[in-house]
C-alpha cells in the first residue's frame, strides 16, 4: 500500500500541471495514467494558450522553452463572403495577446520537469478505480504490470479527460450533466509546411468551416468541418488540400503550401458541463468536468484555470488548515466554465454550416459577421473572449 497526499488520475495537461504546482508547494502527489507517455504526446490537440495558461506554466517553473519557441499573436482573421477581416485583439483589449504553443510541447515540458524532479508517474496504470471519496480516507486501486496496487490519499484529482473513470464513479444522483453534440466534426491535418498566413484564419464558407492554424513557422495545422459520417481513411491528403482551397480566399489559396500530412484525425464537437465539480474528496478538473467545441480555443485554457483554482485550494488546505478554498472550488470554476462554454458555442454557431438551417442560415451568419467586423463593440466582444476574460470578471 502506497501513501500520498493527492492522487492524480490522468497525465494530460491538467494532471501534469496540477502535479507540478502541488510539488512546488511541497505537496506530495502520484499521477496514474492509463496510456504510455509517447501515446499522450502523440495526441495532436490544442495550439493556443491564453495569458492565464502562460502565467501558470511560468509559476510551475516550466515556461522557459514556451517563451523561446511560442509565437505571440495579437490578432486573428475572419474570412467570410470571400474576404478576410482582421480582429485586432491586442488593440481591442488594451494589449492582450495569445500564444501559439502546441499542447504536445506544453505536455512534454511538464513531463520532462516531472521526470527531472524524480516525481512518481505510473504510466500504463490499468483498471484505475477511485474509492471512499465521500470519507476522510479516499483510496485508489489499479493494476500495473499485472500486479494489483492501492494508494491511500487525502484527495483525488480527476484529471482523466472526458472518457475518464472519475466522473463515471460519482453516483448519478449527485451529478448533473449538460450536453450538446454538434452535427459535424473537425478533420485536422498537421503538415511540415509553412503556415498560409502569419496569424490564424477562421473561415465561414458556404462549403463549411475551415481553420488555418500553425505550430511554428514551418509547421501548419489545418481543420475542415466535415459530416460526422466521414471516415478519416476516406480523406486523402490531396482531397483535404483541394477542399481547403475551395474554402479560402484567392490570396490565401495562392499562398497555401501543401505537403504530406504527418497527422490526420477527425474530432467530434461537443459542449458539455458537469455540475458540481467536487464530490467530497474527489475533484474534477479539465476535460473530465467539461468540454467545449474547439472553435474558441478554450479547452486547454479552461483546464489550466481549473488547475489554478484547485492547486490554490489544496495549498490553502495544507498550509492554513482551511477548507474555504476547496469548498469554493466548484462554484468558482463553473462561473468561468459557463462563460467559455457560451463563447465557444456562439462562435461555433456563427462559423459553421448547419445544413438544416438552409440558405437563410448562411445569409444570417454573413450579416452577423459583417456587423461584428465593422463595429468596434462587435469586434471587441470577440477579442476579449478570445484572449480570455479576466479571472475576476464580473466580480463587483
Using the rule CB under 6 A, is 189 a contact of ligand RFL? no
Q: Minimum distance between the CB of residue 200 and ligand PHB, rounded to whole angstroms?
A: 6
**Cell numbers found for residue 213:** 492554424
Q: Minimum distance between the CB of residue 191 and ligand RFL, rounded to whole angstroms?
A: 15
**Cell numbers found for residue 170:** 460519482
Length of the chain: 396
Instruction: Name which of ligand PHB, ligand RFL, none residue 221 binds, using a CB cut-off of 5 to 8 Å depending on partner kind.
Output: ligand PHB
Q: Which is nearer to ligand RFL, 124 or 366 (CB)?
A: 124
Three-state secondary-structure class, residue 28:
coil
Report whether the peptide linkage leading into residue 276 is cis, meaning its omega lies within 30 degrees of zero.
Answer: yes
Residue the block writes with cell 481549473 = 306
Q: Which is nearer to ligand PHB, 205 or 295 (CB)?
A: 295
Longest dimension (CA), the chain: 64
Beta bridge partners of 72: 99
Q: Which is nearer to ligand PHB, 211 or 387 (CB)?
A: 211
The DSSP 8-state label assigned to residue 296 in this structure reads G
Contacting residue, 34, 167, 264, 281, with ligand RFL by CB under 6 A: 34
Q: Are the C-beta atoms of residues 175 and 26 closer than 8 Å to each other?
A: no
In the annotation, is 318 catalytic?
Answer: no
Sign of CA dihedral 216, 221, 222, 223: negative
Q: Which is nearer to ligand RFL, 27 or 303 (CB)?
A: 303
Q: For residue 391, how many other CB atoms are within 10 A of its CB?
A: 14
Binding region for ligand RFL (CB under 6 A) out of 251-259, 297-305, 338-346, 362-370: 297-305
User: Catalytic one among 13, 23, 73, 309?
Assistant: 73
CA distance 90 to 71: 14
CA distance 119 to 287: 23
Binding region for ligand PHB (CB under 6 A) out of 42-50, 257-265, 278-286, 333-341: 42-50
User: Catalytic one among 182, 222, 223, 386?
Assistant: 386
**In 3D, which of 381, 379, 353 has the Cα closest to residue 365?**
353
Using the rule CB under 6 A, is 138 a contact of ligand RFL? no
Contacting residue, 289, 294, 325, 388, with ligand PHB by CB under 6 A: 294
**Cell numbers found for residue 231:** 471516415
Q: Minimum distance between the CB of residue 82 and ligand RFL, rounded to whole angstroms?
A: 25
Collect all residues with Cβ–Cβ distance below 8 Å to 44 and sequence separation of at least 6.
102, 103, 104, 188, 190, 221, 263, 265
The DSSP 8-state label assigned to residue 169 in this structure reads G
Q: Minimum distance between the CB of residue 257 and ligand RFL, rounded to whole angstroms?
A: 21
In the annotation, is 386 catalytic?
Answer: yes
Contacting residue, 297, 333, 337, 387, with ligand PHB by CB under 6 A: 297
Nearest-10 Cα torsion for 296, 161, 271, 232: 80
User: Catalytic one among 142, 182, 202, 317?
Assistant: 202
Q: Which is nearer to ligand RFL, 11 or 351 (CB)?
A: 11
Using the rule CB under 6 A, is 103 a contact of ligand RFL? yes
**Cell numbers found for residue 89:** 485583439
In the annotation, is 223 catalytic?
Answer: no
Instruction: Name which of ligand RFL, ligand PHB, none residue 295 binds, using a CB cut-off of 5 to 8 Å depending on partner kind.
Output: ligand PHB
In the annotation, is 254 catalytic?
Answer: no
Q: What string marks each residue from 166 to 185 as x (binds ligand PHB by CB under 6 A) or -?
A: --------------------
Using the rule CB under 6 A, is 47 a contact of ligand PHB? yes
Binding region for ligand RFL (CB under 6 A) out of 9-17, 66-74, 78-86, 317-325: 9-17
Using the rule CB under 6 A, is 9 a contact of ligand RFL? yes
Q: Which residues of 201-230 are buried (b: 16+ CB within 10 A; e: fewer)?
A: bbbbbeebbbbbbbbbeeebbbbbbbeeee
Q: Which is nearer to ligand RFL, 352 or 362 (CB)?
A: 352
In the annotation, is 217 catalytic?
Answer: no
Q: Are the C-beta atoms of residues 21 and 61 closer than 8 Å to each other?
A: no
Residue the block writes with cell 448547419 = 354
Where does this chain bind ligand PHB (CB under 6 A)?
46-48, 200, 211, 213, 221, 294-295, 297
Where does this chain bind ligand RFL (CB under 6 A)?
9-15, 32-35, 40, 45-48, 103, 125, 128, 159-161, 163-165, 186, 188, 267, 286-287, 294, 297-301, 303
Q: Which residues are catalytic?
A: 73, 202, 294, 298, 386
Amino acid at each position: 500500500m502506497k501513501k500520498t497526499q493527492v492522487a492524480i488520475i490522468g497525465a494530460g495537461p491538467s494532471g501534469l500541471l496540477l502535479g507540478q504546482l502541488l510539488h512546488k508547494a511541497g505537496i506530495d502527489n502520484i499521477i496514474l495514467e492509463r496510456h504510455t507517455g509517447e501515446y499522450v504526446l502523440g495526441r495532436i490537440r490544442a495550439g493556443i494558450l491564453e495569458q492565464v495558461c502562460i502565467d501558470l506554466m511560468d509559476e510551475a517553473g516550466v515556461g522557459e522553452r514556451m517563451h523561446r519557441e511560442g509565437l505571440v499573436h495579437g490578432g486573428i482573421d475572419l474570412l467570410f463572403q470571400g474576404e478576410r477581416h482582421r480582429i485586432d485583439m491586442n488593440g481591442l483589449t488594451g494589449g492582450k495577446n495569445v500564444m501559439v504553443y502546441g499542447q504536445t510541447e506544453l505536455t512534454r515540458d511538464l513531463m520532462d520537469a516531472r521526470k527531472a524532479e524524480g516525481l512518481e508517474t505510473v504510466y500504463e496504470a490499468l483498471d484505475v478505480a477511485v474509492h471512499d471519496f465521500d470519507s476522510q480516507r479516499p483510496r485508489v486501486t489499479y493494476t500495473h504490470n499485472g500486479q494489483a496496487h492501492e494508494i491511500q490519499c487525502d484527495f483525488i484529482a480527476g484529471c482523466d479527460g472526458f472518457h475518464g473513470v472519475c466522473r463515471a464513479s460519482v453516483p448519478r444522483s449527485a451529478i448533473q450533466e449538460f450536453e450538446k453534440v454538434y452535427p459535424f466534426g473537425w478533420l485536422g491535418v498537421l503538415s511540415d509546411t509553412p503556415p498560409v498566413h502569419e496569424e490564424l484564419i477562421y473561415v465561414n464558407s458556404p462549403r463549411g468551416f475551415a481553420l488555418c492554424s500553425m505550430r511554428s513557422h514551418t509547421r501548419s495545422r489545418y481543420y475542415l468541418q466535415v459530416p460526422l459520417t466521414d471516415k478519416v481513411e476516406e480523406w486523402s491528403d490531396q482531397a483535404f488540400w483541394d477542399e481547403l482551397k475551395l474554402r479560402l480566399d484567392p490570396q490565401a489559396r495562392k499562398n497555401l503550401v501543401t505537403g504530406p500530412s504527418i497527422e490526420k484525425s477527425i474530432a467530434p464537437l461537443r459542449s458539455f458541463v458537469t455540475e458540481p465539480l467536487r464530490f467530497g474528496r474527489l475533484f474534477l478538473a479539465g476535460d473530465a468536468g467539461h468540454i467545449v467545441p474547439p472553435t474558441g480555443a478554450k479547452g486547454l485554457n479552461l483546464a489550466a484555470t481549473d488547475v489554478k483554482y484547485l492547486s490554490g485550494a489544496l495549498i490553502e488546505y495544507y498550509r492554513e488548515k482551511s477548507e474555504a478554498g476547496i469548498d469554493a472550488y466548484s462554484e468558482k470554476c463553473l462561473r468561468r466554465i459557463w462563460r467559455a462554454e457560451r463563447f465557444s458555442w456562439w462562435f461555433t454557431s456563427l462559423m459553421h454550416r448547419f445544413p438544416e438551417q438552409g440558405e437563410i442560415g448562411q445569409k444570417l451568419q454573413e450579416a452577423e459577421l459583417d456587423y461584428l467586423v465593422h463595429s468596434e463593440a462587435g469586434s471587441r466582444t470577440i477579442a476579449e473572449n478570445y484572449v480570455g476574460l479576466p479571472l475576476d470578471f464580473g466580480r463587483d
